[in-house]
Chains A and B, each alone.
Chain A
Amino acid sequence: MSASLIIPTLVSPVVVSLFVPAIFTGLIVGLIGLMAIAYQKNDLSALILTDIVGIGMLILVAAVGTDLAEALILPGLVVELAEILAISEILMSREMKKKGKSAELIPLPLSMDMEVMTTAPTFLAIILIAYGAFLSGFTGGAVAGGGILVYVLSKRMRGVPADTWEGIAGVSGIAWCLWLVGFLLFFVFPQYWLLALFLAAFGIFIKVAFKAGLIGVIGREEFSKK
Chain B
Amino acid sequence: MDITILGQQLLGYIPLGDIVLYLAPLNLFMFASTLAFTTIIAISKTETQVEADFGTLKDKEVKVDQKEFKIRRFLAIVCGLATAGAMITGDLFNFILFVCLIGIVNIGIVAAVKQVDVLDAAFQYGLVAMIAVLPLFGGAAMILASAGTISLLEIVNIPTTFMMLFGSLLLFIGVAGETGVAPFYATKAEMFRTPGSPFLLIIHLSSLLVIVRVIEILLIINKPF
Residue numbers of A with Cβ under 8 A of B are 1-3, 6, 19, 23, 26-27, 30, 33-34, 37, 43, 46-47, 50, 53-54, 56-57, 60-61, 63-64, 68-69, 72, 75-76, 79-80, 82-84, 86-87, 89-91, 93-94, 97-98
Residues of A within 8 A of B107 (CB): 83, 86-87, 90
Cβ-defined contact, A57 with B104, below 8 A = no
Which 10 pairs from chain A and chain B are nearest by CB?
Answer: A60-B138, A87-B126, A6-B148, A94-B119, A57-B134, A79-B100, A61-B141, A64-B145, A83-B130, A30-B134
With A50-B127, A93-B111, A97-B119 given, is the CB distance from A19 to B141 under 8 Å? Answer: no
Residues of B within 8 A of A23 (CB): 138, 142
Judge if B144 is at the interface, Cβ distance under 8 Å. Answer: yes
Cβ-defined contact, B93 with A72, below 8 A = yes
Cβ-defined contact, B97 with A75, below 8 A = yes
Q: Quote the shortest CB–CB distance from A120 to chain B (angstroms).
A: 40
Cβ-defined contact, A93 with B119, below 8 A = yes
**In the complex, residue of chain A having the shortest beta-carbon distance to the beta carbon of B160:** A2
Q: Quote the shortest CB–CB distance from B149 to chain A (angstroms).
A: 9
- Considering the complex, which residues of chain B in the window 86-145 have a beta carbon less than 8 Å from any beta carbon of chain A? 93, 97, 100, 103-104, 107-108, 111-112, 114, 116, 119-120, 122-123, 126-127, 129-131, 133-134, 136-138, 140-142, 144-145
Cβ-defined contact, B138 with A61, below 8 A = yes
Cβ-defined contact, A89 with B111, below 8 A = yes
Q: For the side of the interface on B, what is the size category?
A: 35 or more
With A2-B159, A72-B93, A89-B111 given, is the CB distance from A94 to B120 under 8 Å? Answer: yes
Cβ-defined contact, B126 with A97, below 8 A = no
Neighbour of B137 across the interface among A2, A37, A61, A87, CB < 8 A: A61
User: Helix, strand, loop or mixed for chain A's interface?
Assistant: helix
Judge if B33 is at the interface, Cβ distance under 8 Å. Answer: no
Judge if B158 is at the interface, Cβ distance under 8 Å. Answer: yes
Judge if B161 is at the interface, Cβ distance under 8 Å. Answer: yes
A-B CB contact pairs (8 Å), 7 listed: A1-B161, A2-B158, A2-B159, A61-B137, A82-B104, A87-B130, A91-B123
Cβ-defined contact, B104 with A86, below 8 A = yes
**In the complex, residue of chain B having the shortest beta-carbon distance to the beta carbon of A55:** B134
Cβ-defined contact, A68 with B133, below 8 A = no
Cβ-defined contact, B123 with A60, below 8 A = no
Residues of B within 8 A of A19 (CB): 145
Residues of A within 8 A of B138 (CB): 23, 26-27, 30, 56-57, 60-61
Q: Quote the shortest CB–CB distance from B220 to chain A (angstroms).
A: 17
CA distance A220 to B148 in the complex (A): 50
**In the complex, residue of chain A having the shortest beta-carbon distance to the beta carbon of B111:** A90
Q: Quote the shortest CB–CB distance from A27 to chain B (angstroms).
A: 7
With A90-B119, A94-B123 given, is the CB distance from A83 to B142 under 8 Å? Answer: no
Cβ-defined contact, A83 with B114, below 8 A = no
With A43-B123, A89-B111 given, is the CB distance from A98 to B145 under 8 Å? Answer: no
Cβ-defined contact, B114 with A97, below 8 A = yes
Cβ-defined contact, A53 with B133, below 8 A = yes
Cβ-defined contact, A90 with B104, below 8 A = no
Cβ-defined contact, A76 with B119, below 8 A = no
**In the complex, residue of chain B having the shortest beta-carbon distance to the beta carbon of A6:** B148
CA distance A83 to B104 in the complex (A): 6
With A86-B104, A90-B122 given, is the CB distance from A80 to B159 under 8 Å? Answer: no
